[in-house]
Structure 1
Amino acid sequence: MTQITQRRVGRPRKAVLDRVRIGATALELVDDSGDFTLPELAQRLGVHTSSLYHHVDGRSGVIELLREQVSDQMDAAALEREPWDVAIPAFFRSYRAVFAAHPRVVPLLTTTTVRSPQVLAAYDRMVALLEELGFPVARAMEVLTAVESFVIGSALDLAAPDVMWEIPEGVEAPRLAEALASQRDAAHRAEAAFECGLRMMLAGVAAELGASTA
């Protein structure tokens, strides 16, 4: 006798598609190729393109999921450390490490409006830290945007070729040649440059704070 298997009624226990899976897969696609299209993303997920629209608002919605993916990897808890000049650098070191791991996502995130709750919460905390120190709130985004721009550039520097500067034969640049020869490996150069720049930027913030309270 042939056994008849009854089909379960109702929704499957585990969703075939959700926002986390879409975001993680989109990040893999961007890491591989530097961009994505909705048909490419759907194909990698094994679904129809129309299925994505049940979870995201087209391409812009997927980009916001990419932002959530990278922000989830950042150490937002660092912003609870004291004092401010420990908390903010700790967060931005984590920020740099994540973007260094996913450099191809940078152009997508830096050319779209930020709406991610995690990112907004982190920046709200940094504005609060600066306010608590007496820094004018009207200047807060200038400071944070300047530091962010520097950190993103430093993250891309980590992904740069080992030989970033090469002086062709016949070109006279003796001082630059000596400076380049005095460096160690590329990773050390990038790390030293980042820490140097971060110290200088924070020193500038501290100087402005000192001037405003004098």
Structure 2
Amino acid sequence: MGRPRTPLLDRERITTTALQLVDEHGDFSVPQIAKRLGAQTGSVYHHVDGRDGIVELLRERVASAIDPGTLDVTPWDAALEAWAHSYLAAFAAHPRTIPLLMASPVRAPRVLEQYERAVTLLVDAGFALVDVMPLISALENLVLGSALDLAAPATMWVVTESTPTPRLAEALAAAGEGRANEAFEVGLKALMNHARALRPAG
């Protein structure tokens, strides 16, 4: 039999399959990827640098949905807010990747390039170098935590008669269905106000 016209394995197909598995189950294994693609497990390793390599491919795939053009917006604070919103949308689409990606250092070149641009944005805006990474890390923590919150069950607090919590019940009713989005905006506003206070005047 001749070779199939479309190869069973390449990095794109491996990444897509791994992402499907993570979206469905919260994790993946190389044998699972091979099985879905109708290939041998050993063949997968010919295209990727093991499990860690696949994790970095996943990082690049999810982060590719973050619009890098947001970092060209002016002024700097509008750019940072736009980047945060785009970052949130990218990870809210695949929240189950977050625990997986947070467990390993960032190595993916295209992701590092976005961080480079974010650092450059803040440095060019006049921030002291010592303040740059804490700000970016705080923004990342806010975004990723909010992406998980958006994916959580709509009712995270179950009010019962056995544990009377009338004020909590009133607050939950007042918050409504948009609580997670509103919480993100509250956190982002606080972060941006802190960043503006850090930035030297002028």
Q: TM-score range with shorter-chain normalisation? A: over 0.9
In the alignment of these two chains, the number of paired residues is: 202
Which residue of structure 1 aligns with residue 102 of structure 2? 110
CA distance in 1, matches of 2:108, 2:144: 18
Which residue of structure 2 aligns with residue 64 of structure 1? 56
Which residue of structure 1 aligns with residue 188 of structure 2? 198
> Does the CA contact (< 8 Å) of 2:62 and 2:90 recur in 1?
yes
Residue ranges of structure 2 left out of the alignment (5+ in a row):
none
After superposition, residues 153-164 of structure 1 pair within 5 angstroms as: 153-164=145-156
The alignment status of 1:54 with 2:46, answered yes or no, reads yes
Superposition RMSD on alpha carbons, in Å?
A: 1.8
Which residue of structure 2 aligns with residue 99 of structure 1? 91
Q: Secondary structure at the match of 2:86?
A: helix
Deviation for aligned residue 1:179: 1.4
Which residue of 119, 126, 136 corresponds with 1:134? 126
CA distance in 2, matches of 1:94, 1:162: 22
Deviation for aligned residue 1:134: 1.3
Which residue of structure 1 aligns with residue 198 of structure 2? 208
The alignment status of 1:34 with 2:11, answered yes or no, reads no
The alignment status of 1:122 with 2:108, answered yes or no, reads no
The alignment status of 1:20 with 2:12, answered yes or no, reads yes
> Does the CA contact (< 8 Å) of 2:8 and 2:38 recur in 1?
no
Q: Secondary structure at the match of 2:14?
A: helix
Which residue of 82, 103, 106 corresponds with 1:90? 82
User: Over residues 133-177 of structure 1, what are the superposed CA-to-partner deviations in whole Å (9 max), with x where a residue is unaligned?
Assistant: 111112211110111011101111111111111222232433322
Letter in 2 for 1:48: Q
CA distance in 2, matches of 1:82, 1:17: 43
Identity between Structure 1 and Structure 2 (%): 50
Which residue of structure 1 aligns with residue 158 of structure 2? 166
Deviation for aligned residue 1:81: 1.2
**Length-normalised TM-score, structure 2:** 0.93
Structure label with greater radius of gyration: 1
Which residue of structure 2 aligns with residue 3 of structure 1? none
After superposition, residues 70-81 of structure 1 pair within 5 angstroms as: 70-81=62-73
